[in-house]
Structures are given as C-alpha cells and as structure tokens.
Amino acid sequence: MCSFFFLRTARSLDEQQIQHANTFAQARGPDSTGCLQFEDVDGFFCTMVHNLLDMSGQAIRQPLTVGQPGQRLLLLFNGEIYNHAELHLGSADTESLLPLYQQFDGSFSNILDGEYAVLIYNENKKQVDVYVDPFLTKPVFVGTSAKPGEFGVATCASSLRSVGLSNIQMVEPNSVVTANLSAQNVKLRIQHPIRQFNLKQNDESYDQWMESFIESVKKRANHGSHPICVFLSSGYDSGAICLALNLLRIPYTTMSIVGKESESILRDRIKINRQQSNAKSHIYEGVSEKRFAEIKRQIRKSVEPFQYQHSDSPGVTLPLWEDGGAIGGYFLAEQARKLGLLANLSGAGADEIFSDYGFGGKPFYYHSEFGGLFPENLEGFFPWKKFYGDTQRSYLFKDEYILGRFGVEGRYPFLDFNVVQNFLSLSAKLKNARYKAPIAVFLEKHGYPFEDNVKRGFAPGKSHSTTPNTGWRKLLRRIGLGFTSC
C-alpha cells in the first residue's frame, strides 16, 4: 500500500503547495516520498508524487520512468501484484509494470492478479492511463477544473481539491480511465468492465470455492516481507481467514476487541489458532469512553475526509469519525503499527458479495438490497448495487483510509477475482442454502467455531478498560501467549 497523485496545472506548484496536497496521503507511505516535476509541450506543469510503504524490502522509489525526456513513460503504482513473477522476470511487482505495459500494449490489466491502482503517463501521446483492480480496493479519484487543460489523479480526493480541482469523481471499479491532455481540454474515456464475470450458476459443490479461497489467502499472506495480522472477531469472515492460515500453517497475529463479540467463540478460536499455526494474539476488552472520543477527534484531524454514501432508504451520508467500526479499526491499526504488523488480511467485501446483509430474503440491516436471496438467473440482476458500490465502496475505503493512517496495508482475500467468480458459479440452491453458505460450509468442514446464521457487526464497545480481564489473562497464560495493554 502506498499513495500517489498526478497533477497537471497551469502554474508550477511550490514545495508548500505539494506538501499541502500530500497532507492526508503521506501517512499511507511513511518510508519515503518521491517527487518529479516537469513542464509538458503545452506549457502545463506536471507534478508526480509517490509515498512509499515498502512491503517488498527493496524500497523502490517512484515515479519510475523509461525513455528519454519528451518520450518517457512514467509510472505511479499503489498496491500489490500477486502474479508478477509469472508474468515478468522482475524481482518486484513495481519493476514489472512498465515492461508489461509495453509488452501488452496497455491492455495488461486483463492479466494482472492483485489489488492495485496503476497510473502510466505517456509523454509523447500526452495521455494518462489509470488501471484499477476489479473491486477498486485502492482508492483513486480523477478531477478537472474550470481552467482548460488542468487535470489530476490521486489516491486521496483532498489532494485534488487542494490545488483547485473541483470536478472530482471516483474511478469506477473494474475499469481503465484514459485522459487525453491538450492545452484546450481534457478528454476522458472510461472502459468498463475490463474483466468479465461468468454468470452461469452451474456448480453444485462448494469445493472449488474453498480451494480458491485458501489460495487467495496464501498469495496475500506470502507476498512481501512483512508478517500478517488479522483483526479477529467472532464472525464468519475473519474466522475463515484464520482458518485458511491455519490450514496453510502460516504464522500470523490476531488482534481482537471483545466489545460485543461472543467471548466463548473468540477464546475457542485463539486456542485453535495457537495450536495449528503458532498464532499470536492480542486482546482488548473495549475502547473506553475517553479513548473513543479521542479517536473521533484524531480521525477528523488526520484521516482523509471521506464520507459514506449509501443510497438505500433512508440513505446514509456519514463521515468516518461517526462510524464505530472506523473507530475500532483505528484503535487496532494503531496497535498493529506499534507491533510492526504492516500487512492486514481484511474480511471486507464478504457481506456485500456473499450475503447482501441478509438471508433467505430477510434483511439483517436496512441497507440490504435483496435480503440475501439470490435468483435462479443472474442475467439482469448482476451486478447488484453492493457488488461494486454503496456499502462495498464505503467500507473498503474505510479500511483503506483508516489502515493507511498508520501505514498498514489492507489485503482482501474475499475480493479475489477467482473467489468471487467461484461464488457466482455456485447454483442458486447452494448460494441460498445457508447464510454466507460457502463460508459456513468451510468453517464447519474444518471444525472451526462460529455462530451459525448470526451477524453481529463490529462494535468496539466503550468499556472503562482496554486491557484483558482476569478470564482472558488466565487463558493467555495457559496457552503461552502474552497480552498488550494501552
């Protein structure tokens, strides 16, 4: 995870203006910041800034360039490419992107497997291409201004607003945006969808879905040089991630806020994780009233000002600091950074894809669109609202901006292309058999504890303590684990 922005402005930007544009973005890349400025043939000034979170251990600074001035290709990249070694001999995914772009004539996003936002600027063509993964797991915004020819692309919309760009829009998931730049205007072209999903529901077994999910966790856990952490709850999604890590025998660390979780489920999971993957665990009883209020202030002050936009009746327009999940995530991300745990496997996307926040036509929350009852024919039904947008967008960007505040990278096993495709391929009967059917079957098959047909939601609680109580202390001592207080 990193952040970047590309700005094309009529006037050059001084150091103070660049720093202002980088206010919220820089925390996502605390290891180094690279900046390149140049004047294009139309007399506009291009500023390219990249903030690096070094997950590979190679500290590759960006922007990267190939070619001579005036004929260059310039790269800004945020995220991870999991199949780069199969596609190119480069030792790091960042180094492979420009050669792949040249080899596949710009259509390479069809073959990339990862979570990414890629910007490539072609000086000769005066063209910017922006490539994103199928679910836009890495935020990207584009913007123009009333001044002809001005244009920008950024991880944080605030970077665009800071230089006066006002016509700002989020890049669509599963798309490529091309901007042709001239002195008179900016012509935008959007290609969507780039990767096509097969909508035939003809798979009568959960086996292929389970295999693809384990593989999804494996490639995310083994990518890069940093240890893995999971924010463990008593729910389905984080449990499935831990189970996959256990089956793979990959060591990891869990962090949990007891809050309103099922304590018995959490305790049982921690015991199993310890036995199967030598997993470490950190437990917090809840976020105190005082700390809760302090975190709200910190989010308002230091996190990209992003608002939820849910169109479901009665509709939601909510800033991050008003969401308890964001506050709990902030608390855990802060602890993860202190512990040096910079790669987080998140359960984001599972609710939107596998359940629509409901089961059998019964919504668990008002923002459920169809109560989790999947139709016999997906044609004309797909993509449902939350598949790409609405709460999918809100909660993904919540993770990205909250984790990014502490330079912790989010990775999303449930939003792997093959995992989602294998869910879509399940027969409607199998999809509708149980709440989050493939996940439930996966957990049950391997005897991993969960609450069947229960959706609790993440609530960090507001206890007067943030240290484990006596029961947790005894458990952790018994299985050889320590605990963290704050």
Residues 327 and 467 in one domain: yes
pLDDT tens digits along 201-247? 999 999 999 999 999 999 999 998 899 999 999 999 999 999 999 99
Residue 332 resides in a domain: yes
Preceding peptide of 314 cis, ω within 30°: yes
Preceding peptide of 227 cis, ω within 30°: no
Residues 186 and 214 in one domain: no
| Residue 486, pLDDT score | 39
* CATH of residue 77: 3.60.20.10
pLDDT higher than 70, residue 465? no
pLDDT tens digits along 55-64? 887 888 999 9
Tokens 């969808």 correspond to 193
pLDDT tens digits along 293-344? 999 999 999 999 999 877 765 567 889 999 999 999 999 999 999 999 999 9
Q: Which of 55, 72, 198, 53 is nearest to 128 (CA)?
A: 72
What DSSP line would sit under 437-476, residue for residue? HHHHHHHHHTT----TT----------S--S--HHHHHHH
pLDDT tens digits along 410-463? 999 999 999 999 999 999 999 999 999 999 999 999 999 999 888 877 767 654
Please, what is the average pLDDT of the chain? 92
> DSSP strand E in 45-113: where?
45-52, 64-66, 73-81
Residue 174 resides in a domain: yes
- DSSP secondary structure letter of residue 418: H
Q: Say what the pTM is.
A: 0.94
- DSSP secondary structure letter of residue 252: -
pLDDT higher than 70, residue 80? yes
Mean pLDDT of all residues in 458-470: 53
Residues 236 and 268 in one domain: yes
| Residue 189, pLDDT score | 96
**Whole-angstrom Cα distance, residue 304 to residue 300?**
8
Residues 216 and 304 in one domain: yes
- Indicate the range of 271-280, 357-366, 477-486 predicted with least confidence: 477-486
Domain boundaries, position 59: 3-191
> DSSP strand E in 238-312: where?
253-257, 280-284, 307-310
Residues 254 and 286 in one domain: yes
pLDDT tens digits along 245-290? 999 999 999 999 998 899 999 999 999 999 999 889 999 988 889 9
**Whole-angstrom Cα distance, residue 29 to residue 34?**
10
Structure tokens at 133: 């993964």
Residues 135 and 218 in one domain: no
Residue 125 resides in a domain: yes
Residue 202 resides in a domain: no
Q: How many domains does the chain have?
A: 2
Residues 142 and 172 in one domain: yes
pLDDT tens digits along 3-23? 999 999 999 999 999 999 999
Mean pLDDT of all residues in 34-49: 97
